[in-house]
Structure 1
Amino acid sequence: METLQEFFSFSDPSIIAVTVGAVLLSASSAVVGTFTFLKKKALVGDAVAHSVLPGICLAFILSGTKNPLWLIIGAFVTGWLSLVIIDNITLKTKIKEDTAIALILSVFFGIGILLLTHIQHSGNAAQTGLDSFLFGKAAALVGKDLQVFGIVAIVLLVTVALFFKELKLIAFDASYAKALGLPVKGMDLLLTSLTVLAVVTGIQAVGVVLMAAMLITPAAAARFWTNDVRIMTVLAAIMGGVSGLSGAYVSYVAPAMPTGPWIVMIISAIALTSFFIAPKRGIISRGVQQRRLQRMIMDENLLKELYHLGEKDADIYKARSIEEIVEERFFPKDRLRSSLRRLRREGFITKENGHWRYTEAGRQKGQRVVKLHRLWELYLSKYMKIDPDHVHEDAETIEHIITPELEKRLEKMLEYPEVDPHEEKIPY
């Protein structure tokens, strides 16, 4: 607890520089990464991250210093150039985008390693620490670095805020944006530039190798919590900021622990948690929804078969044994018994002397499922021109998801038919 209080007291200027820098870099990268993620260009971040290394090395060779401004300019030039080359290869050749990304990533990174090796053997004392760009070294951020990277991070956030609607539109439907008269190519160029800048700023904290994770992971995690792009962007920024703050705190508590990798570890943990527990898209939630849907289909199929048995005997409310039901339609015995108990609890059937029969509510529900099944069969046969012998399987699925509104439209479209394609009566 004392360590936590000391950390948040920000009494040490170096702690302030590292913490603020990590939060700004992580949050700004996450915001830009949201649109990269939505455009399904997750690998682009990795390509840019590896392509900035030769730019950093060339900037150092030409300037002779590790001034962050010169390094950013050099990194931006080669990072942006790599994306231009990837786009041109994809558009003008038969090479697919993923192949072009792998090609450019490898070539640029190889050139960067060659230049870095040359610098290390040049005897220039100023090159000390330049290799930290490979794996990141947020703890090396000083006041001067913080000023430059902080300005770039603010530029990124402000630019996204100003062009949010346009970026959102080209991320989802570039053709529609073009039809509206928006400068799609210009906006693509802007997003490309923002992506490169985000990578360039974040690379100081997490390095070339891990930067793609910092760009994409917060957006991927936020996507599990919402369908609203605005909320998703804010969530991604918060998750990125929290991971940056937490990574800086871990490094403060355990100085041997590197800040950058811990930032990535924490955002990955947040993403993994989101994948499982997000209320609508999470794996657990979707598993529960799928199980609930399977139970609903099982219950409705059972009520439907009870109605079919009643039609055959001209006695809808006749009590049926499990054997009779299975003879009409096969159900696994354990699932059948679970469904019968569930329907009984819900008031759709009752049990009398070991046999099962409809309640009035059960009869109405079973009749509606049969009605929807036969209406859909007739629709497929009449309007889709599908042979009556081939409509049953499709109707078996659709009958469970037809809404009351669609049911009314079907009735009106088919002019309230009395029989289905198999000459079976449609109950109303």
Structure 2
Amino acid sequence: MLWDALTLQLGYNATLVTLGATMLGVGAGATGTYLYLGKRALVSDAISHATLPGVVLGFMVMVALGGEGRFLPGLMLGAALSAGLGLLAVTGLTTRTRLHEDAAIGAVLSVFFGFGVVLLTVVQVMDAGRQAGLETFLLGATAGMLRDEALTIAAGGAVVLALVRLLHRPMILVAFDPEYAVGQGMRLARVDLAMMGLALAITVTGLKVVGLVLIVALLIIPPVAARFWSERAGHVVMIAGAIGGVAGYLGAAVSATAPDLPTGPLIVLAAFALFVLSLLMAPGRGVLAAALRHLRFQRRVHLRQGLLALAAGQPVYEPLTLRLMRRAGL
């Protein structure tokens, strides 16, 4: 059954969900690269946790208006408004007080998430809330996802990816050297707002699949893994998108074969497996490559010292040096 899921043979709806999760992973990996390179990774955590009150309030408003409370675009709109408010709170606390950004993020994250949990508890005792399934937004779930929901998630990931391509140069400049970007005539506030807006968009888009608790992992793990494979920023963005896409694909496929398992953790575990693979196997910065370089350097040093000892007529006692010299026919 797992092979059927990996080869997209579990049915039309399961295929759409898997492809939607893949597109989400590509967009998240590419977007998270700018946050990672700009040392703004914690901002995505604040954004994700700030979405919970918006999701619950969106559900309550739609039910009060006589609509379908689980209408995904309505929930995403509420999440976006709530996350935007949280982002403004972080920015305000950072710019208008003496708080550092990490302290502001911690305060906003905990307050918004706590408020969301209270609202979620209130919804659970409502007649309409008992069947809402809003708890799936915490860890993500693709079981029972409708065709329109999968298409919405895929379209959101594609739009974010297109905007990343359009805004790549200014966001890379601001992430690496804000002062140089200002010298080039760029407005830091606007570029920073665009970067945070993309992080907000991908967070809101991925709530149904990955969940608000773990969406930050899909934003950060792929670029961290991609950094082992390249020194060029453009290549890191593309590799991070590919890693995020593969993680989304594998996690959604496994989740399709085991509906009781939450999708978000499976996607994150797949991303972590790719990170470990990158950590060990990357040719430039991987652990194994570094160990091989050290071993080759050690052998060159021992052989050089042995040759110097021979030239000076001195005895060689080091076993490794003797072994290497014998192999070299000396």
Give the TM-score taking structure 1 as reference length. 0.70
Q: Residues 132 and 207 of structure 1 are in contact (CA less than 8 Å); yes or no, is this contact kept in structure 2?
A: yes
CA distance 1:89–1:16, change in 2 (3 Å): same
Matched, 1:46 2:45: yes
Matched, 1:143 2:147: yes
1:321 matched residue in structure 2: 315
CA distance 1:182–1:109, change in 2 (3 Å): same
Name which one, 1 or 2, has greater alpha-carbon Rg.
1
CA distance 1:41–1:150, change in 2 (3 Å): same
Encode CA deviations 1:43-101: one digit per residue, 9 max, x unaligned.
22222111110111122222222222222222112212222322332333333322222
Return the alpha-carbon distance in structure 1 between the equivalents of residues 27 and 237 of structure 2. Answer: 10
1:181 maps to amino acid: G
Matched, 1:30 2:24: no
1:30 maps to amino acid: G
CA distance 1:6–1:181, change in 2 (3 Å): closer
CA distance 1:142–1:283, change in 2 (3 Å): same
Return the alpha-carbon distance in structure 2 between the equivalents of residues 163 and 244 of structure 1. Answer: 24
2:135 matched residue in structure 1: 131
1:45 maps to amino acid: S
2:66 matched residue in structure 1: none
CA distance 1:303–1:182, change in 2 (3 Å): farther
1:12 matched residue in structure 2: 11
Q: Residues 49 and 213 of structure 2 are in contact (CA less than 8 Å); yes or no, is this contact kept in structure 1?
A: yes
SS at match of 1:137: coil
2:132 maps to amino acid: T
1:55 matched residue in structure 2: 54
Q: How does 1:413-428 map to 2 (within 5 A)?
A: none
Matched, 1:70 2:74: yes
Return the alpha-carbon distance in structure 2 between the equivalents of residues 232 and 246 of structure 1. Answer: 21
1:39 maps to amino acid: G
CA distance 1:293–1:103, change in 2 (3 Å): farther
Return the alpha-carbon distance in structure 1 between the equivalents of residues 196 and 5 of structure 2. Answer: 40
1:338 maps to amino acid: L
Q: Residues 22 and 138 of structure 1 are in contact (CA less than 8 Å); yes or no, is this contact kept in structure 2?
A: no
Q: Residues 141 and 264 of structure 2 are in contact (CA less than 8 Å); yes or no, is this contact kept in structure 1?
A: yes
Q: Residues 142 and 255 of structure 2 are in contact (CA less than 8 Å); yes or no, is this contact kept in structure 1?
A: no
1:249 matched residue in structure 2: 253
Return the alpha-carbon distance in structure 1 between the equivalents of residues 258 and 139 of structure 2. Answer: 18
Structure 1's unaligned 5+ residue stretches are 307-315, 323-332, 351-428
1:342 matched residue in structure 2: 324
CA distance 1:237–1:6, change in 2 (3 Å): closer
Structure 2's unaligned 5+ residue stretches are 64-68
1:159 maps to amino acid: L
Return the alpha-carbon distance in structure 1 between the equivalents of residues 5 and 278 of structure 2. Answer: 31
CA distance 1:185–1:303, change in 2 (3 Å): farther
Encode CA deviations 1:289-311: one digit per residue, 9 max, x unaligned.
2333344445556666x5xxxxx
Displacement of 1:278: 0.9
Q: Residues 66 and 127 of structure 1 are in contact (CA less than 8 Å); yes or no, is this contact kept in structure 2?
A: no
SS at match of 1:207: coil
Displacement of 1:341: 4.1
How many residue pairs get matched? 325
Return the alpha-carbon distance in structure 2 between the equivalents of residues 178 and 154 of structure 1. Answer: 30
Return the alpha-carbon distance in structure 1 between the equivalents of residues 44 and 146 of structure 2. Answer: 26
Return the alpha-carbon distance in structure 2 between the equivalents of residues 147 and 135 of structure 1. Answer: 20
Return the alpha-carbon distance in structure 2 between the equivalents of residues 227 and 287 of structure 1. Answer: 19
Match of 1:182 among 182, 186, 192: 186
Give the TM-score taking structure 2 as reference length. 0.89
Displacement of 1:124: 2.2
Match of 2:166 among 162, 165, 168: 162
Encode CA deviations 1:200-257: one digit per residue, 9 max, x unaligned.
1112111122111111111111111111222222222222222222122212333333
2:59 maps to amino acid: F
Return the alpha-carbon distance in structure 2 between the equivalents of residues 318 and 257 of structure 1. Answer: 69
Displacement of 1:343: 4.8
Q: Residues 51 and 109 of structure 1 are in contact (CA less than 8 Å); yes or no, is this contact kept in structure 2?
A: yes
Q: Residues 24 and 241 of structure 1 are in contact (CA less than 8 Å); yes or no, is this contact kept in structure 2?
A: yes
Match of 1:152 among 146, 151, 156: 156
Encode CA deviations 1:167-199: one digit per residue, 9 max, x unaligned.
221111111111011122111100000001111
Matched, 1:222 2:226: yes
CA distance 1:125–1:321, change in 2 (3 Å): closer
Q: Residues 223 and 240 of structure 2 are in contact (CA less than 8 Å); yes or no, is this contact kept in structure 1?
A: yes
1:109 matched residue in structure 2: 113
Runs of 4+ in 1 over 4 A off after TM superposition: 297-304, 343-347
Return the alpha-carbon distance in structure 2 between the equivalents of residues 240 and 318 of structure 1. Answer: 58
Return the alpha-carbon distance in structure 1 between the equivalents of residues 253 and 312 of structure 2. Answer: 71
1:253 maps to amino acid: T
SS at match of 2:127: coil
